[in-house]
């Protein structure tokens, strides 16, 4: 309960400072509730948030944010639509990190008033020894096992 109150308090402070905070909070909430199975049909029918928590373990720390998927170049001549992503950074107890970007893949004219059409934009597992880009979310469990077996010192 204390954790939830702290998060709500922090959200209120951020919302007062960031004009996009309400939009970002809605996107993050929608991404958390997205079906892991719809993101990758090899995954169970759990919310994305519950699935990432299960993979990361009970002591993991999470950072959720909405961003431009790293796509804005800063060039004023770039006139194409800028994608919206929700990024989750999960830091596991042993120091390994999982980074996942989910993008709203809905056509621009379908976004108003409709729930986002999420797809995986980028996923990576980082250890102190390597970075493993994941082609599918269902590759994460095997990558976690592999990095634990190759470098057991990071998984203690």
Tens-place pLDDT, residues 7-43 = 555 555 554 577 889 989 999 999 999 999 999 999 9
Q: Which of 52, 81, 87 is nearest to 69 (CA)?
A: 87
User: What is the overall mean pLDDT for the chain?
Assistant: 83
- CA atoms of 67 and 86, how far apart (whole Å): 6
Q: Which residues of 113-151 are buried (b: 16+ CB within 10 A; e: fewer)?
A: eeebebebbebebbbeeeebebeebebbeebbeebbeee
Contacts of 82 (CB under 8 A, 6+ apart): 68, 71, 72
pLDDT score of 105 = 76
151: its two tokens: 């470098």
User: What pTM was computed for the model?
Assistant: 0.79
């Amino acid at each position: 309960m204390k954790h939830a109150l702290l998060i709500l308090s922090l959200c209120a402070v951020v919302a007062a400072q960031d004009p996009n905070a309400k939009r970002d909070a809605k996107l993050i909430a929608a991404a958390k509730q997205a079906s892991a199975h719809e993101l990758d049909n090899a995954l169970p029918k759990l919310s994305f948030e519950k699935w990432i928590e299960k993979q990361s373990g009970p002591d993991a720390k999470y950072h959720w944010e909405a961003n431009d998927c790293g796509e804005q170049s800063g060039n004023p001549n770039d006139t194409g639509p800028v994608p919206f992503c929700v990024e989750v950074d999960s830091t596991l107890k042993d120091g390994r990190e999982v980074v996942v970007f989910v993008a709203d893949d809905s056509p621009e004219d379908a976004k108003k008033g409709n729930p986002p059409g999420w797809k995986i934009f980028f996923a990576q597992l980082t250890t102190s020894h390597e970075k493993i880009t994941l082609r599918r979310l269902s590759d994460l469990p095997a990558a976690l096992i592999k990095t634990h077996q190759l470098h057991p010192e990071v998984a203690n």
